[in-house]
């Protein structure tokens, strides 16, 4: 009986981080989805808030960083956009959508920077 309780306690301790992680991803996903809905209505400040919140809830959620980068672009904060894209690609280097968004951002941002330097 005592060994069973010990094994159960070990299992519960081992399972708790996974449950907490799943809850964090679920909460972050809800923030991301809400951010998408308000961005589609042109409410970019609210979307930015929601996606920042999602990255705070789950710092490993690449899609949240991708969307956050887009919101930073929209607000003209290109340094933060670059950092958010970099974080997204660190988290999911093989995510084609994130890479395409980042590549397009770099192409446009770099071209704009070169034009402004002239």
Task: Compute CA 7 distance to the chain's CA centroid, rounded to the nearest angstrom.
Answer: 36
Q: Which DSSP letter does residue 58 get?
A: -
Residue 7 has pLDDT above 60, yes or no: no
**Confidence (pTM):** 0.77
Complete DSSP assignment for 1-34: -HHHHHHHHHHHHHHHHHHHHHHHHHHHHHHHHH
pLDDT tens per residue across span 28-80: 999 999 999 999 999 999 999 999 999 999 999 999 999 999 999 999 999 99
Whole-number pLDDT of residue 31:
97
């Amino acid at each position: 009986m005592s060994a069973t309780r010990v094994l159960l306690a070990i299992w519960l301790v081992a399972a708790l981080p996974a449950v907490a992680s799943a809850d964090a991803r679920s909460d972050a996903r809800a923030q991301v989805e809400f951010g998408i809905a308000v961005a589609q209505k042109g409410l970019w400040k609210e979307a930015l808030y929601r996606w920042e919140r999602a990255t705070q809830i789950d710092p490993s959620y690449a899609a949240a960083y991708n969307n956050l980068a887009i919101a930073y672009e929209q607000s003209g904060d290109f340094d933060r956009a670059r950092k958010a894209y970099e974080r997204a690609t660190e988290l999911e280097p093989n995510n084609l959508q994130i890479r395409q968004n980042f590549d397009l951002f770099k192409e446009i941002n770099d071209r704009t920077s070169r034009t402004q330097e002239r």
